[in-house]
Every structure is written in C-alpha cells, then in structure tokens.
Amino acid sequence: MEALRRKGVGNDPLLTREPGGSTGAEILRQLLVTGDPGRWDSLTEALLQCAARCDHLRRTVWPALAAGRWVVCDRFTDSMFAYQGGGQGVEMSSLRTLATLVPGTFKPDLTILLDLPPHRGLQRTTAVQRHEGHDVSFHHRVREVFLALAAAEPERCVVMDAGGAIAAVHATVWAAVAGRLGIS
C-alpha cells in the first residue's frame, strides 16, 4: 500500500481483506477463523464465506471503486475454491455457482499468489486460526487448487515464490504490480 501511495497511484488506495473488510463481514470472519477446524461442515463454511463477501463488496469494495479508489484485497473468491473446494471437498460446480451469485462477473484485475510449500508456510504462521489446525495434506490440496486456478487464468494471476526475504518478495510483488498495471 505504501508503494502505491508513494507512487501517487489511485485515489487513496484501500487495503481490505476477506473474510472481513466491513462491519458485518468482520463478525462473520470471527466465526470462520476461530474455533476447532471441524467447527463447520464445508458447505456451511462456503456459505458463510459468501455472506461475508456479499457484505464486503456492497459496503466496502464497490463504493471505494465507485469513488475512484484502488482496492487491494487480501484474498477473494479463489480462496473459497482452494479452501472449501480443494481443502474440504465442496464440489467445484457448487462453488462456481456461489462465486457468481455474489460478485457476478466482478473479478480482480490482478491476483498475486505468494507460493510456499505448505510445511514452510505453516512454520511462518504467527496467528493460529482454524485452517492452520488442519493436517498438512489439507494444505497441500489448498495449494494445488491455488496453482491450478492461477495456471487457468494467467492474464489475471501471477505466481511468486514467497520463500525469500521479505524485502526481496516485496520487490518482486511490486515489479509484477507495476508491470501488469502500467505503473512506472
């Protein structure tokens, strides 16, 4: 975000997240990220994710875009496919229906996938949430879906090795953002 601001890109760029990013979605986030990994069955979790996304889009993202602001969102629909689909086994056709129900044809202009082998990602985790309580095979399935989604939409998705130092990863991310979105 600071790099965007320093470059004078966008009108007060907004950093947000999913689930969360609006008052109602933050309440749903607490239900989704806390408690036992088996707290929700997979379809219930996908529906809660969609409810949070609906509130987030209507109250935060779309008004910001309408005001001419750039929006940077930590996670979006791809995460539902990866976590509830790949990780928890919800049918992808059901998730595709849900994914179009809420945002319609709305999609990010650019999706950056910071990729790490699951065991390394889990070692870096500082905030333990529900999904970190799943076994490593869950995280392998999640990663596989993220990589498949990125391969299917290379015009939108950029996969980056997140194994380096923070400064090096940041420089790589910025280069992708600048190159893809025409920022000098």
The pLDDT score that the predictor gives to residue 173 is 93
State pTM to two decimals. Answer: 0.87
pLDDT in tens, 121-165: 666 665 555 455 567 888 899 999 999 999 999 999 999 999 999
Assigned CATH for 2-181: 3.40.50.300
Domain ranges across the chain: 2-181
User: Which long-range contacts (C-beta less than 8 Å, at least 24 apart) are formed by 128-135?
Assistant: 129/33, 129/34, 130/32, 130/33, 130/34, 130/35, 130/36, 130/37, 130/39, 131/33, 131/37, 131/83, 131/87, 133/36, 133/37, 134/37, 134/87
78-87 tens-digit pLDDT: 999 999 999 9
